[in-house]
Chains A and B, each alone.
Chain A
């Protein structure tokens, strides 16, 4: 589904990604871990199409298409979703309007009719219940005045409504208490099926207790240094990231 080959990228004149290779197949969940500043968020943003991040080399294909050639809105409509580490507040733009516009943009691109208002409300209420969100979310501006945890729930809510083929969740677990983490994880797990894939960017092993990954990768210094199964995450938890870097040198 997603094939990243030797991807390099620069942010504000600084090389951050230095040849990332990664393959994600349909039905899989991958976790990308790594120390601060290793390039995890940059990778997520580059995949979503952030324009001020300059791709300096390599290629990315998504369902056989050249992902890097598409503008961000077309990547979204093709089925890619980024859950932001820091979801932006957009006062004055209603949360539900944005979601409805997003869903309709996707349906339009797929040649489907726009969603009917009642149908949409029923859909969103069902997903909100799953995410344990109160009705006040319906009337508020996008992330406006939301707590950190509410913002993350809102990201997952959007993901559930849009049903992407590939969801990239950038530290969706950070700042969540244990109850919220369970809710968010349950939300992500409902999306797991043989036709979809999830990439989790995270610092902490604990998320992987709730969303069990097929593969775990360590990104450090702009490259994937090590890949393995879930036991790699447990080992990282025990031994820290330095161990990976050292074992590479050795």
Chain B
């Protein structure tokens, strides 16, 4: 790689040294200048630590002590059908795209209303088409891993929605490593042209003995009047670490419904950063965060209202059982001039065990007049009156608890417009609740 790097301030962690070594192995491409800038900045800033505002609750020290190498570009064998939690039936989707460790297995050229490009190919044929989604680079601590992704991703997908597509497009991310020290950099760019509409489901699953550390990034750009329903569903194994960044840029009168669903993984950090940059843009964000066994879930949402008459709604439901920990931090920023901005944040946490922990922190930063912003956060245990009522009708304690948990999550589940996606997510969710067998009968 031709871009020279200044040596960063010592000491450099093992992880940082290994990322720098990966950088050395990358061949030059049309994106090299912007990648080099990202790498340089990342090495200067280092891995985020608990001193960084959005990383207070997630300790990466053990990760920093490891060295990483690139995960393989292909799977050793076939994709096992059971690896995918098969979110959607064959008949219900426009197409399924499979991405292995960030490398797309290219499908037919596209579907009606959606152009599908490989990022590597596109960077070669039309560098500017890709570059405009990589810049500007941010120093913000929630964007630290996105910088690294920009520097090191090799391939990915660019999905351009041009029409009105009713059936959901599924992107199945399969993580599968050759050793315990693998890392993958999945990168997806979704651009919805003016007036277009679509549903895109990104689902992360793992296959095989070793699940690579996943540092994924999705960038969504919605042009005027575009509508998108986007899902990111984490369903990897208990040993997996997943750091995911989602950036959403919305133009005039565009609307986005976004679902972040954590159903798997050992350590899951998901960031959503949205900019409602033009008048009338609106975002509905739903987070369903399930803490199970020793899982650690850290979800950060930062929504900026940058123009008048913009709307954002955030609904987060966190449940934590066993020894798990769930963190939900959301921040709404209303820039000067964004008059008549309307924002609402509702986060509710439900603790299912004495050893579990939930931290929620809704924040508001308002620099404009005539705005309407509200936020609320509550965390508690199951309502004893509701529980007693159900027990007094003869239900098992486990069944009663599960039904109440399920009901608690209903606000997010009922927001989903794709019935098959909802059904699959519910199925997977129920499997992680006590007395799942009985619960299945209720559906």
* Residues of A bordering B, CB below 8 Å: 48-52, 71-73, 75-77, 81-82, 84, 87-88, 90-94, 97-99, 101-102, 105-106, 109, 141-142, 158, 162
Contacts and interface: CB of A to CB of B under 8 A. Distances in A.
A102 B407 contact: no
Given A93-B406, A97-B403, 16 more contacts: A49-B391, A73-B391, A73-B392, A75-B392, A76-B393, A76-B394, A84-B392, A88-B385, A88-B386, A92-B406, A93-B404, A98-B390, A101-B395, A101-B442, A105-B395, A162-B393
B139 interface: no
Interface in B32-53: none
Contact of A90 (B391, B394, B407, B442): B407
B423 to A, nearest CB: 16
Nearest to B383: A88
Contacts of B400: 73
B89 interface: no
Contacts of A162: 393-394
A54 to B, nearest CB: 15
Given A92-B406, A92-B407, A94-B442, A73 B397 contact: yes
A121 B393 CA distance: 18
Contacts of A82: 392
Contacts of B390: 90, 93, 98
Contacts of A51: 384, 388
A73 B395 contact: yes
Contacts of B406: 92-93
A102 B404 contact: no
A71 B383 CA distance: 18
A45 to B, nearest CB: 8
B410 interface: yes
Contacts of B391: 49, 71-73, 76
Contacts of B410: 91-92
Identify which of B389, B390, B400 gathers the most chain A CB atoms within 10 Å of its CB: B389
27 contacts: A48-B392, A49-B391, A71-B391, A72-B392, A73-B392, A73-B396, A73-B400, A76-B392, A76-B393, A81-B392, A84-B389, A87-B389, A88-B383, A90-B386, A90-B404, A92-B408, A93-B404, A93-B406, A97-B403, A97-B442, A98-B390, A98-B393, A101-B403, A102-B393, A106-B394, A109-B394, A142-B389
A99 B406 CA distance: 17
Contact of B407 (A77, A87, A91): A91
A90 B404 CA distance: 8
A137 to B, nearest CB: 16
Chain B CB within 10 Å — which of A48, A87, A98, A162 has the most?
A: A98
B437 interface: no
B125 interface: no
Contacts of A91: 407, 410
Contacts of B408: 92
B118 to A, nearest CB: 43
Contacts of A71: 391, 397
A73 B400 CA distance: 10
Contacts of B389: 84, 87-88, 90, 142
B420 interface: no
A35 B131 CA distance: 78
Nearest to A74: B394
A102 B385 contact: no
B385 A101 contact: no
A161 B399 CA distance: 20
B443 to A, nearest CB: 9
A98 B388 CA distance: 13
A94 B390 CA distance: 12
B438 interface: yes
A187 B442 CA distance: 27
Residue among A72, A97, A102, A158 with most chain B CB within 10 A: A72
Nearest to B390: A98
Contacts of A48: 388, 392
B436 to A, nearest CB: 14
Given A90-B407, A91-B410, A102 B395 contact: yes
Nearest to A102: B393
Nearest to B409: A92
A65 to B, nearest CB: 16
Given A73-B397, A88-B385, A93 B392 contact: no
Nearest to A141: B407
Given A88-B389, A92-B406, A92-B407, A73 B394 contact: yes
Nearest to A82: B392
A28 to B, nearest CB: 22
Interface string B326-352: 000000000000000000000000000
A101 B438 contact: yes
B127 to A, nearest CB: 50
Contacts of A72: 388, 391-392
Nearest to A99: B393
A42 to B, nearest CB: 14
A97 B407 CA distance: 12
Interface string B405-443: 011101000000000000000000000000000100010
A162 B394 CA distance: 10
List 10 A-B pairs, minimum CB-CB distance, nearest first. A92-B407, A76-B394, A92-B410, A102-B393, A105-B394, A72-B391, A73-B391, A88-B385, A93-B407, A88-B389
Residue in A48, A51, A101 whose Cβ sees the most chain B Cβ within 10 Å: A101
A145 to B, nearest CB: 14
Nearest to A78: B394
Nearest to B443: A97
